[in-house]
Amino acid sequence: MLVRELAQWLNAPWEGEGDREISRVASLEEAGADALAFVAGGKAVALAHTAHAGCLLVPRDFANSSGRTVIVVEHPRAAAARVIAKLHPKTVLPEGMHPTVVVGTDVTIGAGTHVAAFVSLGDGVRVGADCVIGAGTTIGDGVTIGDQTTIHPRVSIYAGVTVGGDVVLHSGCVIGADGFGYVLINGAYENFPQIGRVEIGDRVEIGANSCVDRAALGVTMIGEGTKLDNMVHIGHNCRIGRHVVIAAQTGLSGGVVVEDYAVIGGQVGIGDKARIESRAVLGSGSGVLTSKIVRGGQVLWGTPARPLKEYLGQLAALSRLAKKRRAE
Active-site residue, selected from the candidate residues 152, 170, 233, 236: 236
Strongest mean pLDDT among 11-25, 60-74, 76-90, 133-147? 133-147
User: Which pLDDT score, from 0 to 100, does residue 204 have?
Assistant: 98
Confidence of residue 127 (pLDDT cuts 50, 70, 90): very high
Considering the domain architecture, whether residues 80 and 188 belong to the same structural domain is answered as no
Q: Is residue 214, in this structure, part of any structural domain at all?
A: yes
Mean pLDDT value of segment 24-36: 91
Considering the domain architecture, whether residues 49 and 131 belong to the same structural domain is answered as no
Residue 272 sits in a domain whose CATH number is: 2.160.10.10
Please say if the pLDDT value at position 328 is more than 80.
no
Amino acid making up residue 114: H
User: Which pLDDT score, from 0 to 100, does residue 205 have?
Assistant: 98
Decide which of 58, 87, 116 is a domain's last residue.
87
Decide which of 57, 87, 117 is a domain's last residue.
87
Q: Is residue 317, in this structure, part of any structural domain at all?
A: no
Q: Is residue 322, in this structure, part of any structural domain at all?
A: no
User: Which pLDDT score, from 0 to 100, does residue 40 have?
Assistant: 85
Confidence of residue 41 (pLDDT cuts 50, 70, 90): confident
Considering the domain architecture, whether residues 32 and 157 belong to the same structural domain is answered as no
Considering the domain architecture, whether residues 81 and 100 belong to the same structural domain is answered as no
Considering the domain architecture, whether residues 120 and 269 belong to the same structural domain is answered as yes
Considering the domain architecture, whether residues 140 and 50 belong to the same structural domain is answered as no
User: Which pLDDT score, from 0 to 100, does residue 217 have?
Assistant: 93
In whole angstroms, what is the distance from residue 190 CA to residue 169 CA? 32
- The parent domain of residue 48 ranges over 3-87
| Number of DSSP helices (H) and strands (E) in the chain, helices first | 4, 39
User: Which pLDDT score, from 0 to 100, does residue 269 have?
Assistant: 97
Q: Is residue 213, in this structure, part of any structural domain at all?
A: yes
In whole angstroms, what is the distance from residue 272 CA to residue 290 CA? 5
Considering the domain architecture, whether residues 66 and 188 belong to the same structural domain is answered as no
Which H or E element spans position 318? helix 308-327
Residue 46 sits in a domain whose CATH number is: 3.40.1390.10
The residue that leads in pLDDT, 200 or 68, is: 200
Mean pLDDT value of segment 32-61: 87
Query: What DSSP state is assigned to residue 78?
Result: H
Q: Is residue 323, in this structure, part of any structural domain at all?
A: no
Considering the domain architecture, whether residues 158 and 303 belong to the same structural domain is answered as yes
Helix axis angle for 3-10 and 76-87, nearest 10°, is 120
User: Which pLDDT score, from 0 to 100, does residue 109 have?
Assistant: 97
Considering the domain architecture, whether residues 172 and 303 belong to the same structural domain is answered as yes
Confidence of residue 313 (pLDDT cuts 50, 70, 90): confident
Confidence of residue 161 (pLDDT cuts 50, 70, 90): very high
The question of whether 236 is a catalytic residue gets the answer yes
User: Which pLDDT score, from 0 to 100, does residue 234 have?
Assistant: 98
User: How many Cα atoms sit within 13 Å of 12 on the Cβ side?
Assistant: 24
Confidence of residue 224 (pLDDT cuts 50, 70, 90): very high
Mean pLDDT value of segment 164-193: 94
Q: Is residue 126, in this structure, part of any structural domain at all?
A: yes
Please say if the pLDDT value at position 153 is more than 90.
yes
Average pLDDT value over all residues in the chain: 94
Residue 122, phi then psi, degrees to nearest 5? -75, 180
Considering the domain architecture, whether residues 158 and 226 belong to the same structural domain is answered as yes
In whole angstroms, what is the distance from residue 304 CA to residue 289 CA? 7
Are the beta carbons of 53 and 70 closer than 8 angstroms?
A: no
Amino acid making up residue 208: A
Does the predicted TM-score (pTM) go above 0.95?
no
Considering the domain architecture, whether residues 74 and 171 belong to the same structural domain is answered as no
279 Cβ contact list (under 8 Å, min separation 6)? 259, 260, 261, 262, 263, 296, 297
Confidence of residue 100 (pLDDT cuts 50, 70, 90): very high
Q: Is residue 184, in this structure, part of any structural domain at all?
A: yes
In whole angstroms, what is the distance from residue 80 CA to residue 75 CA? 9
Structural domain tally of the chain?
Answer: 2
Q: Is residue 48, in this structure, part of any structural domain at all?
A: yes
Decide which of 50, 66, 87 is a domain's last residue.
87
Mean pLDDT value of segment 220-243: 98
Mean pLDDT value of segment 235-250: 98
User: Which pLDDT score, from 0 to 100, does residue 318 have?
Assistant: 84
Q: What is the DSSP string of 109-146?
A: E-TT-EE-TT-EE-TT-EE-TT-EE-TT-EE-TT-EE-
The residue that leads in pLDDT, 22 or 91, is: 22
Considering the domain architecture, whether residues 148 and 165 belong to the same structural domain is answered as yes
Determine how many CB atoms are found less than 10 A away from the CB of residue 211. Answer: 19
